[in-house]
Structure 1
Amino acid sequence: MKTILALLAGATFALAATAASAQTLKTVKDRGELVCGVSKGLPGFSAPDASGKWTGFDVDVCRGLAAAIFNDPNKVKFVPLSADERFPALTKGDVDMLSRNSTWTLEREAKLGLLFTAINYYDGQGFLVRDARKVTSALELDKSKVCVQAGTTAEDNTKDYFAANGMTLELVTLPTSTDLVKAYEEGKCDTLTTDVSQLYALRLTMAKPGDHIVLPDVISKEPLGPVVRQGDDQWFNLVKWTIFGMINAEELGVSTTTIDAALASKKPEVIRLVGNDGKFGEQLGVSNDFVVRIVKAVGNYGESFERNVGAASKLGIPRGINQLWSMGGIQYAPPVR
């Protein structure tokens, strides 16, 4: 009898856990749109264009996920959040996910109860200075006045770097990236520090971008990616496989221009990716052709990268370690199988 009761209790717990794990996806479907937390305006990553439409590398993740769920990349409500606002907003349920240049750290998962789903951009912290200073290395920044954004990993990284190299600094902490640029251009600091990708983006917003350089030094590991709340495995997996789907699509040559050929492909890996074999999408709670929907909406990983932040964009950031593992980088996704 005890065994039977134990089995029944276990089954009841499993059913309850399964129901709980489907909560976010069901909420999103019932609402009819995804609510995605993004930055307050970071060119190339997430920013509204002249018509007010949100675009960027991080925005493509949100639109790709909306395409996977609704077959419509426009069914997204974008909520701009500062660094200080982002994690409380996610924890409280004001947004379904974050896709806004956030660094994956142990404390953010263990203490804040969040989960980073995948790394869609391998970054590192750097420094931007005026070209007129003729500085070529961060090791020449002793006695600098450095602007840094509050609520980011950059604040502690900067202190550690200067201390480790026997240099002194005056740290100027500001609430938003817009404030960083304003203070820097007004001469309230002579150095600006944040993730290298963000430095390229912020330089574009300056009056004379060509007067400023990003130093070659990278002083930290900053793996960036979408974030969700803990306790919802189905939602975690779906967001994660939105990224993995885009990476696998690039690796297999499935793009916006080859998608029709991919649907007729005889290659086993491509057949699975586009949903013509297996029920992989259904296992995530969406259509089996979810990767096809994503690629049609925003392209594969490489297309999104180049269009928004890479060589084809105004930022012109080298692909570097964000190149596929098969092309000399470290970007890599598990297989669809």
Structure 2
Amino acid sequence: MKFENISNVWLFGLILLLLNACSSTQTLGDESILEQVKERGWLNCGVSGDLPGFSYVNLEELDITKLDNDQNIPNNISQQIQRSVVGFDVDICRAIASAIFDNPNAIRYRFLNTKERFEEISSGKIDVLSYTTTWTVERDVSINVEFAPIVFYDGQGILVRENSEVKSLRDLNGKVICVETETTTKKNLEDEKKERNLTFKTRQLQDKRDVYRLYEAGECQAVTSDISQLAASLNLLKNPDEHIILPEILSKEPLAPAVIDSDLQWVEIVRWIVFALIEAEELGINQNNLEQKKASTDPKIIRFLGLEGTADSIGSRLGLEPDYTQRIIRHVGNYGEIYERNLGPNSSTPIKRGLNNLWNNPEEPGLIYSPPFR
């Protein structure tokens, strides 16, 4: 395109400005996810629902894998199900609901399998996915999701029978390994097979319970998944003590919640709610001492708890109330309390904290770290 004179340049520029203005008006006219959540009155959270320690429906008579999220379930049963969901991933959702509504129970859970989880974010059926999901470059750039901070540093492991004499992946040559489809686990296993010239066979299944059913039936001689999932799934086996998780680690699996990437405000809200859980533990603020800490003269604590008495609080910058961190701690606790409650030594799914310790833990430093709240 060639401009014959300067007036044409100005005209072209004016057209661009008008087009941008129209585009901006359309964007601003769209309702944000925060506004949708507030108007609806609850958070839609996607979880697995069948993984003890992380997200589990604590109703023995209910098989969560047979539940269709969109079927007509009697209201009393639906409410009972929603009240009975517990776990580490569930508490992340409860923290978000606490920050927005001052109510950790203002949530409706959707129980998803590995294939459905990203589809539900893209379709807008859920506001946040809290589902032991690994953050990878492919998912980050190829799916329209944004990952929140890492909440659990994991790795891929192998579950076998204790009396099998299997000590490593190489000992499974010629045998069958069960694995869930639509996971990084499956891809990692394929990489290991090619790189190490191994000859094991892979049985891919979409339903987690089918994986362990076939394993117990002897149709698979091993199961591979994130170590956290293997530890949690031991509870689903008839005789958990007869099985072991091998010390061999096949991959890095940083687990993080995820949201749709089209709403920056919502990305930031979820991000800084997760960081608030971590920062609260580092500052030594928990459910038991919150009221006491509100009297602190430490400027870091005053700023973190939204006690500055100014309009420019961290919460207000996010579109939340100034006391949003107080709400989270009051109802859910800090990161350490969430971990202890769901995965600590006295829980039903004990997993050594290890890399999931705070970065400044004096005995065993981990990787859990929050940017400064300032």
| Shift >4 Å, 4+ stretches | 1-20
1:41: which partner in 2? 50
1:315: which partner in 2? 349
- Please point out which of 84, 94, 101 is paired with 1:63: 94
Note the 1:250-289 alignment, pairs <5 A.
250-277=281-308, 278-289=312-323
Task: Give the TM-score normalised by structure 2.
Answer: 0.85
2:110: which partner in 1? 79
1:120 equivalent in alignment to 2:129: no
TM superposition shift of 1:179:
1.1
Note the 1:289-328 alignment, pairs <5 A.
289-327=323-361, 328=365
Which amino acid is the alignment partner of residue 337 of structure 2? E
Contact 1:40 1:82 in 2 (8 A): no
Task: After superposition, give the CA deviation of every residue in 1:36-73 in whole Å (9 maximum; x if it has no partner).
Answer: 00013110000111364111000001111000000000
Note the 1:161-240 alignment, pairs <5 A.
161-240=192-271
Secondary structure at the aligned position of 1:156 is classed as: helix
CA distance in 2 between partners of 1:317 and 1:31 (Å): 36
CA distance in 1 between partners of 2:118 and 2:165 (Å): 38
Task: After superposition, give the CA deviation of every residue in 1:161-210 in whole Å (9 maximum; x if it has no partner).
Answer: 12222221110001121111111111110100110000000111100000
Which amino acid is the alignment partner of residue 146 of structure 1? I
CA distance in 1 between partners of 2:307 and 2:340 (Å): 28
Secondary structure at the aligned position of 1:192 is classed as: strand
Secondary structure at the aligned position of 2:317 is classed as: helix
CA distance in 1 between partners of 2:265 and 2:25 (Å): 14
CA distance in 1 between partners of 2:25 and 2:289 (Å): 41
Secondary structure at the aligned position of 2:109 is classed as: strand
2:274: which partner in 1? 243
Contact 2:49 2:57 in 1 (8 A): no
CA distance in 2 between partners of 1:167 and 1:310 (Å): 36
Task: Give the TM-score normalised by structure 1.
Answer: 0.94
TM superposition shift of 1:218:
1.2
**Structure 1: which 5+ runs fail to align?**
none
Secondary structure at the aligned position of 1:194 is classed as: strand
CA distance in 2 between partners of 1:144 and 1:166 (Å): 14
CA distance in 2 between partners of 1:312 and 1:303 (Å): 12
CA distance in 1 between partners of 2:17 and 2:302 (Å): 39
Task: After superposition, give the CA deviation of every residue in 1:271-315 in whole Å (9 maximum; x if it has no partner).
Answer: 111111251111111111111111111110011011101223122
Contact 2:49 2:85 in 1 (8 A): no
Tell me: CA distance 1:97–1:295, structure 2 relative to 1, closer, same or farther (3 Å).
same
Secondary structure at the aligned position of 2:50 is classed as: coil
Contact 1:323 1:331 in 2 (8 A): yes
2:141: which partner in 1? 110
CA distance in 1 between partners of 2:146 and 2:50 (Å): 23
Tell me: CA distance 1:285–1:198, structure 2 relative to 1, closer, same or farther (3 Å).
same
Which amino acid is the alignment partner of residue 331 of structure 1? I
2:371: which partner in 1? 334
CA distance in 1 between partners of 2:183 and 2:16 (Å): 47
Task: After superposition, give the CA deviation of every residue in 1:239-291 in whole Å (9 maximum; x if it has no partner).
Answer: 11111000000000011111111111111111111111251111111111111
**Count of residue correspondences:** 336
Secondary structure at the aligned position of 2:321 is classed as: coil
1:98: which partner in 2? 129
Task: After superposition, give the CA deviation of every residue in 1:86-108 in whole Å (9 maximum; x if it has no partner).
Answer: 11111011111100111111221
